[in-house]
Amino acid sequence: MSPRFFYTGDIQVGQTIELASTTGHHVTRVLRVKTGDSVILFNGEGGEFSARITSDRKNITTVTIDKFSAIERESPLTIELVQALCVNEKMDLIIQKSVELGVSSIQPVTTTRSIVRLNNERAIKRLEHWQRVIISACEQCGRNLVPTISPLVSFTDWVSQTKTCKPDHLGFMLSVTGNTSLKELPIPPSLLRITLVTGPEGGLT
């Protein structure tokens, strides 16, 4: 399978694109892809593009777009993950795996038991980092639509802004003390959307 890379910007068949320096370095120096080899590009707007390396010199890598494939690997359900802030490595892993499993959007929240506390500046930097984690996960798992991640808010604020679930929307909260399994939850016959709320290391209060 050809390696996949995210490209920020418009992509057209027949177009020659210069890859970002970090992407180009990863393509040619880490993966050892050579001129003439095939790669896949996607820009998060749907579908993917077959391309080939046409030049690699002076740290500049260019590819030519050969074909567009309108292929998506998305869940039929819209899945929102409301994830309480965890320590960095755990948070990264949760975001990575949730993207690979098909979530559509992620809302990070702070809770009473959250160990990690971020001021505004650090929260912005973490959001940018999480966006890179999401893109990397999409590159690895084959998704062409990039899930969104919202700015960090308090769990209380998220609850106050959340609307009542419609008949086609199922919302549930994971709890270490819960006594109802997922199999026991009533599933709406016309289910289209799921909201999953999960707490930090100490659980939700």
What's residue 205's pLDDT?
65
Q: Which residues contact 203 (CB under 8 A, 6 or more apart)?
A: 113, 175, 176, 177
Domain end: 49, 69, 89, which one?
69
Q: Do 137 and 49 have their domain in common?
A: no
Q: Do 95 and 178 have their domain in common?
A: yes
Q: Do 62 and 89 have their domain in common?
A: no
Task: Beginning with the edge strand found earlier in the chain, give each strand of the sheet holding 38-42 in spatial order.
Answer: 4-6, 38-42, 48-57, 60-69, 16-18
**Residue 121 covered by a domain:** yes
Q: Do 53 and 144 have their domain in common?
A: no
The residue ranking higher by pLDDT, 9 or 116, is: 9
Q: What is the pLDDT of residues 153-163, one digit of tens each?
A: 999 999 998 87
Contact criterion met (CB below 8 Å) for 120 and 127: no
Q: What is the pLDDT of residues 77-97, one digit of tens each?
A: 999 999 999 887 899 999 999
Q: Do 141 and 55 have their domain in common?
A: no
Rounded to whole angstroms, the Cα distance separating 141 from 101 reads: 9
> Beta partners for 69?
48
How many domains does the chain divide into?
A: 2
Look up the domain containing 18 and give its range.
4-69
Q: Do 53 and 141 have their domain in common?
A: no
Q: Do 38 and 91 have their domain in common?
A: no
CATH number of the structural domain spanning residue 45: 2.40.240.20
Q: Do 25 and 96 have their domain in common?
A: no
**Mean per-residue pLDDT of the chain:** 89
